[in-house]
Amino acid sequence: MTRPILNRRRFLGTAAMTGAALASPAYLRRSMAQGSGEVNIWTYNDFVPASFKEQFESDTGIKVNVRLVDDQGKQFNLLAAEAPNPTVDIMTVAGHRFLQFIDSDLLAPLDVGRLSNWGNINPTFSESDWSTINGEKWGAPILSGMEVLSYNTDVVSPEEALTWDTLFSEKYAQQNAYIIQDMMSIIMLKMGYDGNMVAYMDDPEKAAAIVEEAKQFLIENKPLVRKYYDGGAEVQQMFVNQDIVLAHSWNGPAAALINDGFPLAMAIPNEGSYGFVYTYNVANNAPNVDNAYTFLNAIIASSEIGASMTKASGFISTYKDASNHLTDLEKASTSFPEEQLANLQFFRAEANELKYSLVDPAVEAIKAA
Amino acid sequence: MTDQAVTGGTPGDDRSDRTAWGRIAAWAPYRAFMGAVTASPRRQFLILAAFPVLWVLTQHLGPMIQMVRVSLTDAYPVAPGVEQSFTLDNYLRFFGDPIFWQPFFRTLIFAATFTFCTLILTYPVAYFLARHVSPKNRMLMLLLLLIPFWVGEIVRTYAIMILLGNTGAVNLVLQWVGLIDRPIPFMYTSFSMGVGIVYLTALYMLLPLYSALEKLPQSLGDAAADLGAGAWTRFRRITLPLTIEGISSGCTLVFLISTGFYATPVLLGGPSTTVFSETIAGFFHVAGDQWPTGAAFATIMFLAALLLTGAFQAVMRSLRKGDVR
């Protein structure tokens, strides 16, 4: 007869401890995050290869805790909510979003001197102008991506994919999808404007007029679109289910489908598109900063790791010689012809405040229309 | 002091075989404490009410109050160096910009429509279960209906996607029987969203209806039949009025749940089905000081849903009174 009482007690005790943990104030959670051998990472799916994680934990005894994120804005808000005592050590910020995080004091400058393997990153990424702000480096570039036109090769021809107009054609009405926020930049570029809005920083009225023009274009073409989506997995699923035959997408999810043998191809259309770079960043006041640097130095240690990140995510590695470890199919899915690459430019952050103050309401208007 | 005095036990108690809990229950200070708190009905009430009140305050009202508080600020989460201040701008933003009205009213219309569809579809099921299935099989049937609810909303939504996709089961069957040559684009429309929401909310309608129908005495229908009332008349004059309580509860539950759905409209809806929860979520996803606006919009939706269900309940109450008269 005593067993039920003991079980109940155990249950009550466990419940009380769980309740106490949930109700614990930030400083307690932080102290829990400061386990002697841990590093806490917020990143996208497949950005920490499973084999690397296992090897790193075995070699260093540092446990890698990955929390998956799917959006830069969510990451910002999560970190802002935890600041100035975050539970995270390393986050994954896109290069063109640095400024927002830095201005809010959420990132710590990267001490490159602590990364003996820094030289393994291609200088195109590690030493580019966007990666240095206020004279400091703010992140270790790991993967690069771009906004592309993905298409089912059984239905759409490579020639058709060389223009964004195909995405809005009657021929493929209701068989297409795009991310509105990203498409706004692309449409501005397609219309001959600077989608980064850097050129209009001193002329907000012109910037507003351009955003309005792009917004009207997307509203007029709304009847043709099948789905506005947000994440890479969604567009993959729509392609696989044959709900769509072409889409604006990031190259990573599309490359992953190509590597799986799906009849898909990508193009950077003639009107142009944008590229971006994902970086690993150390959070300001990170609880396990030494472990974070150990992790960063390990993950940029070899081109094989870069290649395995590319294999898993589909995005292009920023490491020197990473492509040497890819199969022909993987190389094909992560490379573009020179003439298409010439159409590419990188997202820039200088005018983000102006840009998103105009683009965010425009996105809402398009959804509501 | 004797052991008996310490434990408060009575002479002749065999304390050696008491359980741990038994020893605590017999402990004098414990007995004194329990005696004090249960000495009057008022104290008993306070003790009994403490946990439910605490639960409601911390688990239900607490988050709501926090949301309203955030909605009245100009910055949240507050980044280091930013000063937070009180403002009504987040509410004014909704009323000042018609962009937001369309998803708002669309949500209410969708929720009302889907609630009505759920009622129409589940009433016959509940009727069959309560009136025509033998009592010993009812639990089994209810269990079968509950099975899909063992998994979460997202999994069930994906099940609908598998069903309605271009390569989904419905299109495959239609093609197989020769009714169509090309797949019908069910997905990413108000239809697919409606199917998903009706499927997800059906049980919340079914259970109150089943409960109301089960309590309905069979003799009322038999008496009406003896007096010459046909099936439709019996349903209209007896069954429907006497199950209005269940209809009211089910509709309220389904309507409230439908106004708050997020994942299902995102996954199953299309460009023209954007609902207000997606608009609200947009403010929480966008980096910056947009959480207060999202919180204000959520509060507006909450109040609107509350007002509408209040009005609906009032109508139902008047219908019930009319029935009694």
- A322 vs B3: which has the higher pLDDT: A322
Cβ within 8 Å of B, A 69-128: 71-77, 80-81, 83-84, 97, 100, 104-106
Cα separations in angstroms, B138 against B120, B123, B128, B130: 21, 16, 10, 8
Q: What own/partner pairs with CB < 8 Å and gap ≥ 24 does A78-84 have?
A: A78/A42, A79/A42, A79/A106, A79/A283, A80/A104, A80/A106, A80/B77, A80/B78, A80/B79, A81/B77, A82/A26, A83/A284, A83/A285, A83/B77, A83/B79, A83/B80, A84/A284, A84/A285, A84/B80
Report the CATH fold assignment for B99-324.
MetI-like fold (1.10.3720)
Options 3.40.50.300, 3.40.50.720, 3.40.190.10, 3.90.870.40; CATH of A31-144+277-329: 3.40.190.10
Lowest mean pLDDT among A160-174, A220-234, B75-89, B221-235: B75-89
pLDDT at B248 over 90: yes
pLDDT at A70: 77
pLDDT at A130: 76
Lowest mean pLDDT among A178-182, A243-247, B5-9: B5-9
pLDDT digits (tens, 9 = 90+) for A257-315: 999 999 999 999 999 999 999 999 999 999 999 999 999 999 999 999 999 999 888 89
Cβ within 8 Å of B, A 278-337: none
Contacts with B99 from chain A: Cβ below 8 Å: 361, 364-365, 368
Fold agreement between A31-144+277-329 and A145-273+336-368 = yes
pLDDT at A14 over 50: no
- Measured between CA atoms, how close is B163 to chain A, in angstroms? 11
Question: How far is Cα A322 from Cα A302, in angstroms, rounded to an integer?
Answer: 8
- The mean pLDDT value of chain B amounts to 88
Question: Do A77 and B77 lie within an 8 Å CB cutoff?
Answer: yes
- Measured between CA atoms, how close is A328 to chain B, in angstroms? 30
pLDDT at A66: 95
Most confident of A33-47, B44-58, B118-132: B118-132
Contacts of A38 (CB under 8 A, 6+ apart): A62, A63, A64, A65, A288, A291
pLDDT at B33 over 90: no
Average pLDDT over residues A13-27: 45
Say whether the ipTM exceeds 0.85. no
Domain spans in chain A, listed from the N-terminal domain onward: 31-144+277-329, 145-273+336-368
Lowest mean pLDDT among A140-154, B2-16, B256-270: B2-16
Options 3.40.50.2300, 3.40.190.10, 2.60.120.200, 3.40.710.10; CATH of A145-273+336-368: 3.40.190.10
- Option in B102, B272, B287 nearest A73 (CB): B287
pLDDT digits (tens, 9 = 90+) for B55-101: 999 888 999 999 999 999 988 877 667 788 999 999 999 999 888 99
Question: How far is Cα A120 from Cα A306, in angstroms, rounded to an integer?
Answer: 10
pTM exceeds cut of 0.80: no
Question: Do B291 and A77 lie within an 8 Å CB cutoff?
Answer: yes
DSSP state letters, A247-306: EEEEHHHHHHHHHTT-SEEEE--TT-EEEEEEEEEEBTT-TTHHHHHHHHHHHTS-HHHH
pLDDT at B40: 85
| Beta bridge pairs of residue B56 | none
Contacts with B286 from chain A: Cβ below 8 Å: 73, 356, 360
Contacts with A174 from chain B: Cβ below 8 Å: 185
Average pLDDT over residues A229-253: 92
Question: Do B187 and A243 lie within an 8 Å CB cutoff?
Answer: yes
pLDDT at A87: 93
- Option in A105, A241, A364 nearest B79 (CB): A105
- Measured between CA atoms, how close is A84 to chain B, in angstroms? 7
pLDDT confidence tier of residue B322, bands split at 50, 70 and 90: low
pLDDT at A251: 93
Average pLDDT over residues A112-139: 87
pLDDT at A35 over 60: no
